Structure 1
Amino acid sequence: MECPLRYGGLDVPSYAFALRALRTHALSHFRKENDVMRASSVLQQA
């Protein structure tokens, strides 16, 4: 069982940093997917 005192140390900031990095990565990936979808729809209309 993990010690709850660890959450007062570096674990919380590093967890928040990892979460933020994961979120920005997911957002950039989502944006890329949207660009691909938009490009494919433009190609289909042409």
Structure 2
Amino acid sequence: QNDLEEFRNEFSQAYPETRFQLCEHLGLHPLMLEIVLDRLQGAADQSTK
């Protein structure tokens, strides 16, 4: 959480006309693991070409 607050502060200084707000995380979607595994497989397939 502290890292996110630091990023928010940096971005707020760099872009003072924009409001940055931290929110609660979205949680783990039931398909998130499937998405991650699919991306990993795609990366592995690209590295063997």
TM superposition score category, shorter chain reference: 0.3 to 0.5
Given the two structures, how large is their TM-score scaled by the length of structure 2? 0.42
Structure with larger RCO (C-alpha < 8 A, sep 6+)? 2
Given the two structures, how large is their TM-score scaled by the length of structure 1? 0.45
Whichever of the two has the greater Rg, that structure is: 1
The structure that is helix-richer by fraction is 1
